[in-house]
Amino acid sequence: MNLGVISGLIILAFFVSYLLGVGIFMYQRDVAYAKITAIPKKNLIEFYETRDIENIPKDKRRAWTGVLYRKIGVVPKNHSGVIKAVGWHFAYYDIENDAFWGAYH
């Protein structure tokens, strides 16, 4: 095979892999956002104050973040600084502003 064809196939493979990775990540963020918005605000605030995982419904305690299946937790900061929030880095409930934050929402 010609070197140009091989190079083209390698570039195409990287491009397709990138698109698949981005698609999977966007899907994971949407699922996490759906989980965090389905939890009653009262439960999220209680979890923030007590750190007791029992305040969160069992089926909504974890979300995929890349290749890891992580537990819900306190989000200490975002791009604008320290916040008072519960969830995951890319989908959380901001207690001080009484607002949900997530990718594309």
Q: What is the pLDDT of residues 7-47, one digit of tens each?
A: 999 999 999 999 998 888 888 888 889 999 999 999 999 99
pTM over 0.85: no
Report strand pairing: 99-102 vs 91-94.
antiparallel
Backbone dihedral angles phi then psi of residue 61, each to the nearest 5 degrees: -80, -20
The conformation of residue 30, written as its DSSP 8-state character, comes to: H
Instruction: Identify the bridge partners of residue 71 per DSSP, sorted by sequence position.
Output: 62
Q: What share of the chain is helix, strand, coil (3-state, %, to 5)?
A: 50, 30, 20
Instruction: Tell how many helices (H) and how many strands (E) occur in the chain.
Output: 2, 6
What residue type is assigned to position 92 of the chain?
A: Y
Q: What is the pLDDT of residue 9?
A: 92
